[in-house]
Amino acid sequence: MGYFRNIKETVATIFEGMSVTFSHFMRRPYTVQYPDRVPIRIQDTLPFRYRGILEVDLEICTGCLACERACPIDCIVIDAVKDKDTRQMMLNRFDIDIAKCMYCGLCSEPCPTGSIHHTSEFEGADYSLESMLRRFVKTPVVAYKPKKGPETDPEIAPILDRGMAYLTDFAAGGEE
């Protein structure tokens, strides 16, 4: 009697499947209508650890090159030289090639001040490859020199606080 069992099973399972699909008429679609029909910007809904496009706070960059060394694909190029006259570390070049970057987060982990960090920005589409190369140093700047005590400069202190907060939250696993 496999013949009639087949018919019965076909009808029963299709009935069941149709009831499942019908129940979805009463469920809310879960589509996020990116980019224009969202209640808040998607960037603001992303979790803190989200690894978006990299950004550098030059004010607190020490020029230690830890990020450049950590980068597995060499998308970070830093040119930091010690000025002979002033004995200060000068940052001549800090380039990140966003087109190469694979957003692994390995660079922001060893950063001592949290200067290089991921933002929640992810809309990186552009018309040319050149514009994907983010040049952070326009004119050579003096690298940040960590102080023994707490930071006193009112301009740098908030940035450093943010950087350190980022470090403790982002790389909470602890680093060497």
Partner 1 sequence: MSLGGYDVEVQRPGGLATEEMTLNMGPQHPSTHGVLRFIVKADGEVMREAIPDVGYLHRSIEKIAEKVGYHGFMPYTDRVDYVTAMPCNQGWGMVCEKLAGIEVPRRAEYCRVIAVELNRICSHLLSVGSMGMDIGAYTPFTHALREREYINDLLEELCGARLTFNYMRIGGVAWDLPPDWVPKAVAFLDRFEPLIDEYNALISYNKIYVERLANVAIITAEEAIDYNLVGPNLRGSGVKFDVRKDLPYSVYPEFEFDVPVGTGEVGTVGDCFDRYMVRIREMKESCRILRQALAGVPEGSVLTKVPRKFKPPVGDAYIRVESARGDMGWYCVSDGSEYPYRVKIRTGSFTATSIIDKVSRGLMIADLIAVVASFDLVAPEIDR
Partner 2 sequence: MKQLVLQLTGEGGLLAGVPYPLAAALAMLVFGAIVVFVFVLPVAGVTSWLERRVWARIQSRVGPNRVGPQGFLQWLADGIKNMLKEDIIPTAADRILFSIAPYLVVIGFVATFAVIPFSSALVIADLNIGILYITAVTGLVVVGVLMAGWASNNKWSLLGGIRSAAQIVSYEIPAALSIFPIVLLTGTLSMQGIIQAQGWAPWNWFLFHSPFTFTAFFIFFVAALAEGNRTPFDLPEAESELVAGFCTEYSGMRYLLFFLAEWGNLYVIGAIVTTLFLGGWQVPHVTDNPFVLAVLQFGVFFVKSYFWVFIAMWVRATLPRVRVDQLMSLCWLYMVPIAIVNLVGTAIWMTVVPAGLDRVVQIAMTLAGAAVIVGFFGRVRFHLRRAKLRDIDYYYNPII
Of the residues 53, 77, 110, 140, which one makes contact with partner 1 according to CB under 8 A: 110
Which residues, other chains included, contact 103 with Cβ-Cβ below 8 Å and sequence gap of 6+? 51, 52, 53, 54, 118
Cα three-residue angle 75-76-78, rounded to 5 degrees: 150
Task: Give the integer Cα–Cα distance in Å for 105 and 176.
Answer: 16
Among 73, 81, 144, 62, residue whose Cα is nearest residue 107: 73
Q: Is 1 in the site for partner 2 (CB under 8 A)?
A: no
The residue type found at 84 is: K
From residue 70 to residue 89, the character string flagging contacts with partner 1 as x (rule: CB under 8 A) and all else as - is xxxx----------------
Residues 117-176 that bind partner 1 (CB under 8 A): 118, 170-176
Task: Work out what residue 170 binds among partner 2, partner 1, none; the CB cut-off runs from 5 to 8 Å by kind.
Answer: partner 1
Q: Given the complex with partner 2, which of 19 and 152 has the nearer CB atom?
A: 19
Q: Which does residue 148 touch among partner 1, partner 2, none (CB within 5 to 8 A, set by kind)?
A: none
Binding-site partner at residue 26 among partner 1, partner 2, none, CB < 5 to 8 Å by type: partner 2
List 89's β-bridge partners, or say none.
82
Q: Could you tell me if 113 and 61 are in contact, meaning their C-beta atoms sit under 8 angstroms apart? A: yes
Q: Are 96 and 111 in contact (CB under 8 A)?
A: no
Binding site for partner 1 (CB under 8 A): 6, 9-10, 13-14, 16-17, 19-21, 30, 46-51, 69-73, 102-106, 109-110, 118, 170-176
Binding site for partner 2 (CB under 8 A): 3, 6-7, 14-31, 33
